[in-house]
C-alpha cells in the first residue's frame, strides 16, 4: 500500500497545524504510522490522496448513516447553499427539524440547536445548574462529553471523588464541582451524592461510545433515575453519538428510562457541523430569551446544517426498518471477526447497538473504563495496520466505536471478515 502522498501531506500539515491534525485522534498516535489524508468518500468507501480505496467503518465518526455523498442529503445541501450560507436570523428549516426531533423523543418537549456536541453538552449542563440552583455535576470515567473545561477530568488519587483536571490549561477551580463515578456501578454514584452539598445533574452516555462501545445496563440506568429523583438532580443523556444510531427513538426507547435532558449531534446534521439539546418544557423555559440561562451562537441552526439534518432524519423515518438491517450487518461483522480471532487463539469481546459496533482485544466482558483499559492495545494497533493494508478503515483507537452505514453491503461485511481472518493469522503467527 503506497501512502507517499499522505506522508508528504502530513509533514506539510505539521508545519502549520499543531500535530498536523485538527482533532487529536486523527493523528494515529495510538496505532502508529501516518494518518491517511482523504480525497473523497463514495458510499461505503473512502479514497485517500494516494488513490487507495477503503471500506469505511468510521463514517466521519457517526453522522453518515447513509454513507458518503447520499444523493438526497447532498441535494438538500446544494439547494440550501444556493439560498445563502448563513443569515444569523431564524429560518423555517429550524422549526421543521425541531418538530422532527421532538416528535421522536418522549422526554423532549423543546430543543435548541447549536454547532457541535461539545457546545450542546456545555449548554445542557449550564441549563441544569440554572434550573436546580446547584453547582456539582456527576460524570462517569470513560465517558467523553466534549472538551469543555468542567468535563476534562480524571480520577483523583486514593478515595478522592472529585476529579482533577486532565489537561493543562484547565484550572482546578473549574473541575472542583465535577464528581467522577464508575460506569455501571451504582454504589459509586451513591458515594458521589453523599459527598456533594448539591448535585445539579448526572450526565451519562447511556450507550458509551468513547471508551469503545460499552452500553449501560437497564438496571443501572433505572437506579440512576431513582437516585436523581430522590436528590432532586437532573439526568442528562448524552446521545451525540448514539442518537439515531442505536434507535430511531433514542436510548430511552431501549432502556425504558427517561432522562430530563438529551444532547444530540452527528446524524441530525447529516454530515454538517451541528449539535442540539432538549428536554422537558419547564426546564427549557429557563433558557434565554425565555428565561435567565444564557446561551447563544451566530451559526446555531444555520440553514445548511438544518437542510442536511432534515434530509437525513426524514429519510431515516421513511426507511425506519433499515436500522434493524444495519444492526444485523453489524452483528454479522463482529461475530464473524470474533470467530476468526478465536480460531487463531486471540480473545475478542464484541458488542452491537443498532448501527454501532465495538470490539475489544479482551478476554472478559467490558462493563466500564477499567475493564476497557485491560484490553490489548498493542494487538489492536497491529490489527488496525493490518486491516488498512487489506483495504478496511477502522477507527484508529481501541477506545472508539465503529459504524455501519446503509452503503455498507453484505459483500463488504463478508470481505471484512475474510480479511480479518488473514490479519489475525499473521498476528497469531
DSSP letters, 70-136, are -HHHHHHHHHHHHH-S--SS--HHHHHHHHHHHTT-TT-SEEEEES-HHHHHHHHHHHHHHHHT--E
Instruction: State mean pLDDT over 355-377.
Output: 95
pLDDT band per the 50, 70, 90 thresholds, residue 396:
very high
% of residues, the chain, pLDDT over 70: 97
Which pLDDT belongs to residue 116? 95
User: What's the CATH code, domain 4-69+321-428?
Assistant: 3.90.1150.10
User: Is the preceding omega at residue 97 within 30 degrees of 0, hence cis?
Assistant: no
User: What was the pLDDT predicted at 35?
Assistant: 95
State mean pLDDT over 57-68: 97
pLDDT of residue 340: 98
Q: Catalytic residue at 410?
A: no
Mean per-residue pLDDT of the chain: 94
Q: Could you give the CA distance from residue 132 to residue 123 in angstroms, rounded to a whole number?
A: 14
Res 97 pLDDT > 50: yes
Q: What is the DSSP letter of 198?
A: -
CA dihedral 205, 209, 215, 216 (to 10 degrees): -30
Query: What does the DSSP 8-state code read for residue 37?
Result: P
**Active-site choice (45, 54, 57, 144):** 144
From 258, 266, 315, 338, active-site residue: 266
Annotated catalytic, 238?
A: yes
Residue 164 banded pLDDT, cuts 50, 70, 90:
low
| Grid coordinates belonging to 295 | 446561551
Closest CA to 102 of 295, 280, 286: 280
The reply to whether CATH 3.20.20.80 applies to domain 71-318 is no
Confidence grade of residue 429 (pLDDT, cut at 50, 70, 90): low
Mean pLDDT within 82-95: 96
Burial of 171 (0-12, 13-18, 19+ CB in 10 A): exposed
What is the arithmetic mean of pLDDT over 357-369? 96
Mean pLDDT, range 326-350, rounded to an integer: 97
Q: Is 266 a catalytic residue?
A: yes
pLDDT of residue 276: 98
Taking alpha carbons only, the member of 234, 288, 242 closest to residue 265 is 242
Structural domain boundaries of the chain?
4-69+321-428, 71-318
CA atoms of 134 and 199, how far apart (whole Å): 6
Q: Are 272 and 78 in contact (CB under 8 A)?
A: no
Angle between helices 218-231 and 186-195 (to 10 degrees): 20
Whole-angstrom distance, CA of residue 306 vs CA of residue 80: 9
Contact predicate 53/284, CB 8 Å: no
Which residues is 260 bridged to in the sheet? Answer: none
Q: Mean pLDDT throughout 252-276? A: 96
pLDDT in tens, 111-138: 999 999 999 999 999 999 999 999 999 9
* Backbone phi, psi, residue 385, to 5°: -65, -45
Residue of 238, 260, 351, 371 marked active site:
238
In DSSP terms, 143 is beta-bridged to none
- 146 pLDDT exceeds 90? no
pLDDT in tens, 39-48: 999 999 999 9
Rounded CA-CA distance 236/399 in Å is: 22
Amino acid at each position: 500500500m503506497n501512502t507517499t502522498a499522505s506522508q508528504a501531506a502530513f509533514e506539510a500539515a505539521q508545519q502549520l497545524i499543531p500535530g498536523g491534525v485538527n482533532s487529536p485522534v486523527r493523528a494515529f498516535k495510538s496505532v502508529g504510522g501516518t494518518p491517511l489524508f482523504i480525497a473523497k468518500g463514495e458510499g461505503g468507501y473512502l479514497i485517500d490522496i494516494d488513490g487507495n480505496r477503503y471500506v469505511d467503518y468510521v463514517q466521519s465518526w457517526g453522522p453518515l448513516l447513509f454513507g458518503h455523498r447520499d444523493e438526497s442529503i447532498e441535494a438538500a445541501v446544494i439547494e440550501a447553499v444556493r439560498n445563502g450560507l448563513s443569515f444569523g436570523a431564524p429560518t423555517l428549516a429550524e422549526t421543521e427539524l425541531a418538530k422532527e426531533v421532538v416528535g421522536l423523543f418522549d422526554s423532549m418537549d423543546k430543543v435548541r440547536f447549536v454547532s457541535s456536541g461539545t457546545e450542546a453538552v456545555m449548554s445542557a449542563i449550564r441549563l441544569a445548574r440554572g434550573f436546580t440552583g446547584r453547582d456539582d455535576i456527576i460524570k462517569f470515567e470513560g465517558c467523553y462529553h466534549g472538551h469543555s473545561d468542567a468535563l476534562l477530568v480524571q480520577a483523583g488519587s486514593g478515595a478522592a471523588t472529585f476529579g482533577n483536571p486532565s489537561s493543562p490549561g484547565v484550572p482546578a477551580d473549574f473541575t472542583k464541582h465535577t464528581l467522577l463515578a464508575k460506569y455501571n456501578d451504582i454504589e459509586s454514584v451513591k458515594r458521589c451524592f453523599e459527598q456533594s452539598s448539591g448535585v445539579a445533574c448526572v450526565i451519562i452516555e447511556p450507550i458509551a461510545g468513547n471508551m469503545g462501545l460499552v452500553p449501560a445496563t437497564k438496571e443501572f440506568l433505572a437506579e440512576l433515575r431513582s437516585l436523581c429523583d430522590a436528590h432532586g438532580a437532573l439526568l442528562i443523556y448524552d446521545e451525540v453519538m448514539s442518537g439515531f444510531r442505536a434507535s430511531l427513538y433514542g436510548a430511552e426507547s431501549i432502556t425504558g428510562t427517561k432522562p430530563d435532558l438529551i444532547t444530540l449531534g452527528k446524524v441530525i446534521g447529516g454530515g454538517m457541523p451541528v449539535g442540539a439539546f432538549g428536554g422537558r418544557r419547564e426546564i427549557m423555559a429557563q433558557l434565554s430569551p425565555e428565561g435567565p440561562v444564557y446561551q447563544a451562537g451566530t451559526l446555531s441552526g444555520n440553514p445548511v446544517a438544518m437542510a442536511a439534518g432534515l434530509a437525513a432524519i426524514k429519510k431515516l423515518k421513511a426507511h425506519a426498518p433499515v436500522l434493524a438491517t444495519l444492526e444485523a450487518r453489524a452483528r454479522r461483522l463482529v461475530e464473524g471477526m470474533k470467530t476468526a480471532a478465536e480460531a487463531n487463539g486471540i480473545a475478542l469481546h464484541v458488542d452491537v447497538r443498532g448501527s454501532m459496533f465495538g470490539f475489544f482485544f479482551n478476554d472478559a466482558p467490558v462493563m466500564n473504563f477499567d475493564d476497557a483499559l485491560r484490553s490489548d492495545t498493542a494487538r489492536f494497533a497491529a490489527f488496525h495496520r493490518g486491516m488498512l493494508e487489506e483495504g478496511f478503515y477502522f477507527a484508529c483507537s481501541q477506545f472508539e466505536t465503529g459504524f455501519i452505514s446503509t452503503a455498507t453491503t453484505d459483500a463488504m461485511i463478508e470481505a471484512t471478515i475474510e480479511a480479518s481472518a488473514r490479519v489475525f493469522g499473521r498476528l497469531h503467527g
